[in-house]
């Protein structure tokens, strides 16, 4: 059975972005160095997006790996990026359900960066990653947290959270890793500038698409999003929501 695809809104919103999280290329490179990747390490990236993590780390560190994503446009972009960077012989990208994917053999690093919904949250996603890891392998999890306690429901929904309890603060998130039986061994956190670069790029992508597709059935919805999201972002999400990637080793 062919897996479902992402709604078109996702691919329109992400546009020309290569990193589909509030990380810039400097932070992504910092993370690759921080976890001390070695040539020949094998990675599995669940919900790999446009493959920037795998492709740049293959180029910079000599790793190999597989990315899995449900978005056909993202998979196509990842394969193009691998070819452009000269690493198509070292990384591959699979269109499929990341939560159901099983690697052919255990990997050195298993990642789910910004998509822990595939496991119903951090604990379930860590179980998915653990099943793919060799003994002593490393899990990478990208997850939001509250930078500041949201003062009310408007701040919660304005930060694109379903409820205040959907996320915890940073100490609570770190504590939860230990509760799941993992040691936190590295972290790289987004900052407000990397949030800006991610969020604001969406607005330009939306505006360019709207200019080119004024009669598309999605135009009213995306016009409303472009009208409302910048103010919501600067008022709430930028101030209250943090995000980071956390490197974990099973105890």
The 10s digit of each residue's pLDDT in 7-23 is: 999 999 999 899 999 99
| Residue keyed to tokens 């990341």 | 98
Q: pLDDT of 147-199, one tens digit each?
A: 999 999 999 999 999 999 999 999 999 999 999 999 999 999 999 999 999 99
pLDDT of residue 2: 61
pLDDT of residue 4: 75
Average pLDDT of 54-68?
A: 98
**Both tokens assigned to 218:** 């999605």
pLDDT of residue 221: 97
The CATH architecture assigned to 8-161+170-250 reads: 3-Layer(aba) Sandwich (3.40)
Give dist(CA 17, CA 69) in Å, integer.
Answer: 16
Percent with pLDDT over 70 in the chain: 99
pLDDT of residue 73: 95
CB count, 10 Å around CB of 2? 7
Instruction: Answer whether residue 1 shows pLDDT above 60.
Output: no
Average pLDDT of 101-113?
A: 96
CB 5 within 8 A of CB 69: no
| Residue keyed to tokens 């990193």 | 19
Q: How confident is residue 5, by pLDDT bands cut at 50, 70 and 90?
A: confident
Residue spans of the domains in the chain: they are 8-161+170-250
CB 159 within 8 A of CB 237: yes
Q: How confident is residue 3, by pLDDT bands cut at 50, 70 and 90?
A: low
Mean pLDDT of the chain: 96
CB 95 within 8 A of CB 69: yes
Parallel, antiparallel or unpaired: strands 133-146 and 107-113? parallel
């Amino acid at each position: 059975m062919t897996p479902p695809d992402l709604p078109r809104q996702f691919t329109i919103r992400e546009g020309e972005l290569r990193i589909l999280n509030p990380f810039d290329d400097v932070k992504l490179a910092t993370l690759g160095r921080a976890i001390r990747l070695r040539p020949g390490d094998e990675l599995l990236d669940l919900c790999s997006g446009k493959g920037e993590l795998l492709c740049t780390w293959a180029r910079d560190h000599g790793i190999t790996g597989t990315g899995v994503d449900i978005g056909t446009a993202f998979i196509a972009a990842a394969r193009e990026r691998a070819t452009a960077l000269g690493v198509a012989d070292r990384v591959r990208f699979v269109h499929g359900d990341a939560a159901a994917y099983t690697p052919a053999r255990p990997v050195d690093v298993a990642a789910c960066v910004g998509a822990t919904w595939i496991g119903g949250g951090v604990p379930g996603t860590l179980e998915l990653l653990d099943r793919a890891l060799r003994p002593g392998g490393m899990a990478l999890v990208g997850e939001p947290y509250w930078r500041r306690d949201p003062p009310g429901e408007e701040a919660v929904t304005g930060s694109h959270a379903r409820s205040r309890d959907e996320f915890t603060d940073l100490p609570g998130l770190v504590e939860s890793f230990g509760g799941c039986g993992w040691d936190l061994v590295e972290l790289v956190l987004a900052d407000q500038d990397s949030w800006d670069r991610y969020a604001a790029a969406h607005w330009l992508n939306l505006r360019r698409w709207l200019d080119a597709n004024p009669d598309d059935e999605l135009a009213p919805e995306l016009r409303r999003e472009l009208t409302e999201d910048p103010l919501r972002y600067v008022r709430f999400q930028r101030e209250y929501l943090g995000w980071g990637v956390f490197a974990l080793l099973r105890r």
